[in-house]
Amino acid sequence: MKRAVYPGSFDPVTFGHLDVIRRASEVFDVLIVSVLNNKVKTPLFSVEERVKILKDATKGIPNVEVDSFTGLLINYAAEKNIHVAVRGLRAITDFEYELQIAQTNRKLSGGNLDTIFLTTSLEYAYLSSSSVKEIASFGGDISQCVPEFVAKMIYEKYHIL
């Protein structure tokens, strides 16, 4: 069984993430999408909310599981006996950051955790969770960025609906 983890903040999940999830689910037998519980960042959605959103958004993909983790990805992956992480690459600007994380994880795990990159589909290359939040906070249209139920939840957070 080929299993992989797709780690991220997913605050909130966007169509770009969902595109990576769908495509990675076709490459691996099981894909675990795991939300980082990052104590340093102040997220818009709690980890529990993000897990619930991801479960709802991926319910049509049977080999996708949703989970959360705290601490180092290499430790979480080792616990789950997973040796591949999946990440999306939007543009060259992502590359340096992603390369550093991937190499750190490979080194720290003693070669036990490799990273596979999927290039984001062009129509989502401009998308980021941060820009979605910024647009929504000013009442802008995010219907092309996130599923409708997620958009509604974001506007509610900003007291816009």
Q: Where do contacts with ligand PNS occur on this chain (CB under 6 A)? A: 7-9, 36, 72-73, 101, 104-105
Annotated active-site residue 87? The verdict is no
- In whole angstroms, how close is the CB of 110 to ligand PNS at the nearest point? 14
Separation of alpha carbons 92 and 128, rounded Å: 14
Of the residues 34, 50, 87, 90, only one is catalytic, namely: 90
Three-state DSSP at 86 gives: strand
- In whole angstroms, how close is the CB of 147 to ligand PNS at the nearest point? 18
Q: Which amino acid is at 86?
A: V
Q: Which two tokens stand for residue 44?
A: 């818009």
Annotated active-site residue 128? The verdict is no
- In whole angstroms, how close is the CB of 16 to ligand PNS at the nearest point? 11
Q: Which two tokens stand for residue 84?
A: 């591949």
Q: Are 68 and 36 in contact (CB under 8 A)?
A: yes
Of the residues 9, 87, 129, 133, only one is catalytic, namely: 129
- Tell me the CA distances in angstroms from 34 to 15, 49, 142, one per residue in order: 17, 13, 24
- In whole angstroms, how close is the CB of 87 to ligand PNS at the nearest point? 7
Separation of alpha carbons 123 and 19, rounded Å: 10
Annotated active-site residue 41? The verdict is yes
With respect to ligand PNS, which residue has the nearer C-beta, 8 or 145?
Answer: 8
Separation of alpha carbons 73 and 116, rounded Å: 14
Annotated active-site residue 83? The verdict is no
With respect to ligand PNS, which residue has the nearer C-beta, 46 or 161?
Answer: 46
Q: Among all residues, which ones are annotated catalytic?
A: 17, 41, 90, 129
